[in-house]
A and B are shown apart, each in its own frame.
Chain A
């Protein structure tokens, strides 16, 4: 998808500007569809063209306690005219830009049982989900426009999608398409490295996905 065709590119960059001003860019990782767009634009994946199907912007926070000095991202985001909202049920944070542009934050769930909202040092309440660690463990910093942003390795991005596929409900088929679209660009040695770092359960989910969809990654 060419630059000029990407809806909400301006909103995406406006939020990156907001994070940059808050000095938070180093403490979040772009995940989801916008990571694919950055793979394309940064040249990390040569000749790759992202398929921007969802317009929400998701960030992974690898460490709740970074930066050391707490930041009020909500205050800075309001200055950039993003609306802040907390979900009524679980208090997780979302920002809204023009039209339906939506920004969410996620962290790796620790332990099991009842999830409770925790505030990160960047001033937001992220949503807790499982299996996110690989996206931060295997991540890299790349240039994008005037920014330097963190994104997961494409191999980690795809491995993650394979592992969570069974819980994705109506998004599972769309994720499958993304996996197939990215597959030709992946480094199989990196996939093996990531696979070896997974838990037994995650390895099982990975192998099941390979078998169910006849996709051989390694």
Chain B
């Protein structure tokens, strides 16, 4: 076990690339071995082939060589019998060809034993040829005697030569057989090795796959699991262990979880703070709503009663003072109302529902017309795109814009107020309220949307200066923008851009 556990520890220290190399090496090694063996076997096979060819050649040459001698002998005998020199052709040929033949055989023979035997055979052949040559030269003694002697001796010599040749052939054959046997054995051995190698290769492949699966895939899945746990705000499983990139990745995920946890608690603290703040604001607004209004009512109420009771006893100036007190109280009342409304636009929870602006605008216009008896106002209302938001808040925003338009066109004989769209552009619906009223100087356009900011004196146009601030706040909470454009004396256009989530016109 100990070498394995040592290896296991080593394994965990390696980087991913080292591991990958090791895993690839496992099935690859037997593969390489097999290839090597195939190569070697092939070489051996070729060698065996060559040896076989050579052996066959040697045998053929030896036999051919012996045939030359046989023919030389036959020719010589013929000559001896007939005295015809034509019979000596075979002998002459033999003399000419034999050296060459022997040279070739000698070149082919590899085995030392065979070489020795070949030497003996060569000698025998040479002696025979020499004998034949000398027999040819002998005087024409009674042919029968010479021939007889020749035939007797010749047969023995030829037999010896033949035997030598046969021995050689046999030796070569035996050698060849041995070589073939060896080759076959080698082939079987290498087949066995190849099969073992293939088997080991498969095992190695499986081993590599298991290694890969457990060492890498398994651990990567572990990390992936942890990222999903993280996304679902669940607790993470410890690990994976190790020193390689996967382990580092895993540690990164744990670290991210920690950071997120910290940010989470920070957020929660902030949210609690915000909730407290909101509650305080809520209480404050409630107080303002009740407690500020009461004294105002008392001021206005008693001043009015005084006005009624003492009107006859007061001078012009006194009555004016009283009026001022009453008007101031009334104005403060309106300011308080507007401030509360503005505060509510920032505090209250926002709805997000699809809204049809058309009916809302029509209602606002109808209300304005009810309160403006006698004035001529030409309304132009264009189709509005579908938007998503808080209906109550948007109603306040448009109400403010429209009542502003009505107010600031009060000096015109014929007021013209248009409510339209400037067309959706990259995810925004741009709406506008345009009037032909007194307009304003663009120099002060930035102040326009500020709280309690006015560009006209109260005597000209009454108002608290909070309408546009409320509009901006509402639109900002919807993720949109507000801006305005005007020329003094030539009316004004107030634009609203709202992010569009649904398309369609109403």
Q: Do A and B bind each other?
A: no
Which residues in A have some Cβ–Cβ distance to B below 8 Å?
none
